[in-house]
Structure 1
């Protein structure tokens, strides 16, 4: 994954911060969320042990 972007006429690379998303916000306080990428739907699950599982 490339987190560099270029600014100005000299094309100097500038590192952009990686977005941070809280899992409980994505799941609206529950344990499941669906995430779309292109034509695919993925399921994000928070386990009882507090781990994340992403499945297609």
Structure 2
């Protein structure tokens, strides 16, 4: 990525059992995609494709 990715830490909320919610970081899709409509994510040796549909939804496929 040529641009600096914008991230922010998600606030931690208590779950029903009183443990903190560990949802992770928020990352703007524009920081991931730039001007592209599809990207490949490598996870545990597998390729996944994340794409933006014509109705502006995200689809993850293996």
Counterpart pick for 2:32 among 20, 26, 39: 26
- TM-score normalised by the chain length of structure 1: 0.62
Query: Structure 2, unaligned stretches of length 5 or more?
Result: 1-18
Looking at structure 1, the residues matched to 60 and 20 of structure 2 have their Cα atoms a distance apart, in angstroms, of: 31
Counterpart pick for 1:41 among 36, 47, 53: 47
Query: Structure 1, unaligned stretches of length 5 or more?
Result: 1-12
Residue 57 (structure 2) pairs with residue 51 (structure 1): yes
The structure carrying a bigger strand percent of its residues is 1
After TM superposition, what 4+ stretches of structure 1 lie above 2 angstroms from structure 2?
Answer: 13-17
Q: How many residues align?
A: 44
- TM-score normalised by the chain length of structure 2: 0.57
Q: Which has the higher contact order (CA 8 A, sep 6+)?
A: 2
